[in-house]
Structure 1
Amino acid sequence: MKTITVREMKAHWSTIESQVRDGETFEVVNRGKPTVHIGPATPRRILKWDDHLASAVPVSGRSVATTIEADREGRW
């Protein structure tokens, strides 16, 4: 992990960003005290949910409009 100051981070952001993208981590210090850790983001997992409409609202014999109206309970 590399240590940089806030001033260095602002001045060299594009270089730091490319290094973070390549897996490097940074500790940012402000007036000598660590304030932030910057590291690469982890990719989000894409959720495959083929029957989301069928399972989103439990089957209760009500129409969609009735279900929405009951959920809102006069809030709208």
Structure 2
Amino acid sequence: MERVGIRELRQHASRYIDRVKSGESFEVTERGVPVAMLSPATPTSLLDRLIAEGAVVPGIGGVSTWLEEHPPQKHASQQSLSEILDELREERL
């Protein structure tokens, strides 16, 4: 891990932040003594972490886009979902 002094960091902060954004970490020193670590922030949510790790690929579009491409199909009995639910409710009464 690369070390950087406080003065150097202060004078070239944006350069070091760009390097941190690309995944590098730095040990910040004051008069040669380590005082802090500068490293990329960890994602806060589980989804953000999984995306950062490459385990999940964020979707494009939304549910409405998916439904347009994969329209819902009727039940084998050709009844709508509302009709099936109505029948189930009647059976409970």
- TM-score category of the 2 structures, normalised to the smaller one: 0.5 to 0.7
Higher relative contact order, chain-length normalized (CA < 8 Å, sep 6+): 1
Residue correspondence of structure 1 range 26-37 to structure 2 within 5 A? 26-37=26-37
State, as a whole percentage, how many aligned pairs show the same letter: 40
Cα displacement (A) at 1:45: 0.5
Q: How many residues align?
A: 47
In structure 2, list runs of 5 or more residues that go unmatched: 48-93
Output aligned runs, 1:46-65, within 5 Å.
none
CA RMSD of aligned residues (A): 1.5
Residue 12 of structure 1: aligned partner: 12
Normalised to the residue count of structure 2, the TM-score between the two structures is: 0.48
Rg larger in 1 or in 2?
2
CA deviations 1:1-48 (Å, max 9, x no partner) are: 11010000000000000000110000011011000011000111069x
* Structure 1 unpaired stretches of 5+: 48-76
Counting helix residues as a fraction of each chain, which structure ranks higher? Answer: 2
Aligned equivalent of 2:3: 3
